[in-house]
Amino acid sequence: MTATVVAPVVEERRLVMPPPPRPVKSGKKIAPLKPIKVAPVPVVATDAETPWSAAELKSVRAEISKELDRLRKELAVVELEMDELIQESGEGAGDDQADAGTKTFEREHEMSLVINARDMVLQTERALERIDSKNYGNCEECGSPIGKARLQVFPRATLCMLCKQKEERR
């Protein structure tokens, strides 16, 4: 006679959060939101804005050159890390799928850092070329002034706000 073994049945219970209590109405009325009267105006160069002076361009060029040196050093470090990661990836014989996936993720992450760093270096070099060729501050698309405020925030800008908005909508 063989005895059959019956596995015990375990009931699974899930914790369920009760819904939040309904807010108590206190009799106070909440004021409705007021509509915006005027749409926000983008930062655009005005006719009253003075063109870049030689001293301003010299100052901007010095700042951009300093930024370019920093970006080149950063790019060299990121490229070195990428090279080390590629060399280490060949030593993964016998790795399981999780290890291989992690290495692939790290490699792709480093590659995106290298690409972004190279892109920033190229944009910065292009800004310096635009200063040297006296085109800095003019939109590459329409030729109108970009605006000093925009260039002070983002000195590598090549498009005015209107052209940049058109480009982003495409």
Q: Is residue 4 part of a domain?
A: no
Q: Is residue 46 part of a domain?
A: no
Q: Is residue 69 part of a domain?
A: yes
Q: Is residue 70 part of a domain?
A: yes
What is the model's pLDDT at position 73? Answer: 92
Q: Is residue 3 part of a domain?
A: no
Going from the C-alpha of 86 to that of each of 8, 79, 96, 99, 112, the distances in angstroms are: 52, 10, 18, 15, 14
Residue 73 sits in a domain whose CATH number is: 1.20.120.910
What is the model's pLDDT at position 8? Answer: 66
What is the model's pLDDT at position 86? Answer: 76
Residue given tokens 């993720």 in the structure block: 105
For residues 56-62, give the mean pLDDT. 89
What is the model's pLDDT at position 48? Answer: 61
Residue 66's pLDDT band (cuts 50, 70, 90): very high
What is the model's pLDDT at position 72? Answer: 92
Q: What percentage of the chain carries pLDDT values higher than 90?
A: 13
How far is CA 60 from its chain centroid?
A: 23
Q: Is residue 158 part of a domain?
A: yes
What is the model's pLDDT at position 92? Answer: 57
Q: Is residue 136 part of a domain?
A: yes
Q: 138 phi and psi, to 5 degrees?
A: -110, 140
Give the count of domains, the chain. Answer: 1
Q: Is residue 121 part of a domain?
A: yes
For residues 24-51, give the mean pLDDT. 64
pTM: 0.61
What is the model's pLDDT at position 54? Answer: 84
In b/e form, how buried is each residue of 109-148, taking b as 16+ CB within 10 angstroms? ebeebbeebeebbebbeebbebbeeeebbbbeeeeebbbb
Which residues constitute the domain of residue 59?
A: 54-87+103-169
Residue 71 reports pLDDT greater than 80: yes
